[in-house]
């Protein structure tokens, strides 16, 4: 079966310790809570699409460990096609070691592990599913040359979206030219353009700089303010506002947005760009009302019925 949405990206396991404060160098302190979560931008975005009912496939690498087996079961329960998730025998799964203090400060150390082994040959083995995708979605938590190869294979076969996260200051311009839509948040836009801080008053300047780098179209997500869109065809930025809510946990909201945006472009292609972005903002807003990533991503039953109408 052809998958409408194919994600080439990362899987990560998050180990989070909560403590009264961050420890000083060389200091041991007693924490208050520990959590293990399954994340990674690639897998998160794929699950977000799948929870809306999208037919999805993930092209990714996991390590030879118990975390990989647990993650595969989670993905299968969300109806994600995992036939192109490869277990790397000589690697551990990608992990993030996170410490969160009571005042909200945190320290994060990421070890990419098996994600670094997602290579051209791995992508080539999934060539049929990539070329058959209505939407290809990529990020930067795996090697950039792999992302570039996936974009080349998919070119002319559907819509391609690249999430420029984590931000890369001097990015290969071919990636920007090959993808149909390039999406970043404010922080990532600041790193890529040198404009600081990014805010509503200068989003046109940000869009102009990104388009000048070779982007065909850009989406700049602005958290609770919504998102802006601009393209080579119409360089004037369009603001699509989001509904204001009191967030519980904003973790993964950007992934919820991208997964939802990919879903609406794949399943409701007749909708305008601004309408797809508006609906993706609704999904992202819903996700911040619950804790976690996968657990916070809404399903169709959690959302208004008119969000899935073709008008």
Catalytic (active-site) positions: 255
Structure tokens at 126: 């999934």
Structure tokens at 309: 């109408």
Which runs of E-coded beta strand occur in the chain? 5-8, 12-19, 33-39, 56-63, 80-88, 94-101, 106-111, 135-138, 159-163, 181-185, 217-221, 227-231, 238-240
Reported for 143-149, long-range contacts at CB under 8 A and 24+ positions apart, including other chains, are 143/116, 143/118, 143/119, 144/168, 144/171, 144/172, 144/175, 145/120, 146/8, 146/118, 146/119, 146/120, 146/122, 147/8, 147/175, 148/172, 148/174, 148/175, 148/178, 149/120, 149/123, 149/124
Task: Give the whole-angstrom CA distance, residue 138 versus residue 64.
Answer: 23
Containing H/E element for 269? none
Q: Which residues contact 192 (CB under 8 A, 6 or more apart)?
A: 164, 167, 168, 169, 171, 184, 209, 210, 213
Do residues 144 and 168 touch, judged by C-beta distance below 8 A?
yes
């Amino acid at each position: 079966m052809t998958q409408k949405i194919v994600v080439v990206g990362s899987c990560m396991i998050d180990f989070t310790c909560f403590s009264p404060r961050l420890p000083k160098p060389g200091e041991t302190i007693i924490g208050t809570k520990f959590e293990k979560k399954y994340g990674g931008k690639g897998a998160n975005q794929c699950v977000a699409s799948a929870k809306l009912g999208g037919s999805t496939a993930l092209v990714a690498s996991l390590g030879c460990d118990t975390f990989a087996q647990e993650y595969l079961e989670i993905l299968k329960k969300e109806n994600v096609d995992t036939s192109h998730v490869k277990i790397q025998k000589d690697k551990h799964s990608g992990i993030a070691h996170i410490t969160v203090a009571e005042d909200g400060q945190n320290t994060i150390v990421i070890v990419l592990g098996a994600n670094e082994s997602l290579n051209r040959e791995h992508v080539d083995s999934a060539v049929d599913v990539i070329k058959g995708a209505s939407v290809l979605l990529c990020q930067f938590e795996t090697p950039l040359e792999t992302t570039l190869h996936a974009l080349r294979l998919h070119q002319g076969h559907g819509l391609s979206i690249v999430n420029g996260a984590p931000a890369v200051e001097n990015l290969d311009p071919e990636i920007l030219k090959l993808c149909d839509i390039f999406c970043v948040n404010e922080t990532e836009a600041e790193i890529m353009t040198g404009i600081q801080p990014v805010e509503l008053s200068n989003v046109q300047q940000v869009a102009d700089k990104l388009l000048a780098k070779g982007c065909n179209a850009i989406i700049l997500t602005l958290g609770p303010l919504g998102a802006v869109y601009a393209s080579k065809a119409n360089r004037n930025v369009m603001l699509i506002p989001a509904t204001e809510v009191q967030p519980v946990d904003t973790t993964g909201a950007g992934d919820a947005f991208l997964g939802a945006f990919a879903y609406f472009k794949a399943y409701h292609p007749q909708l305008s760009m601004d309408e797809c972005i508006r609906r993706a903002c609704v999904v992202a807003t819903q996700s911040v009302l619950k804790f976690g990533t996968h657990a916070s991503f809404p399903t169709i039953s959690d959302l208004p019925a008119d969000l899935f109408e073709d008008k």
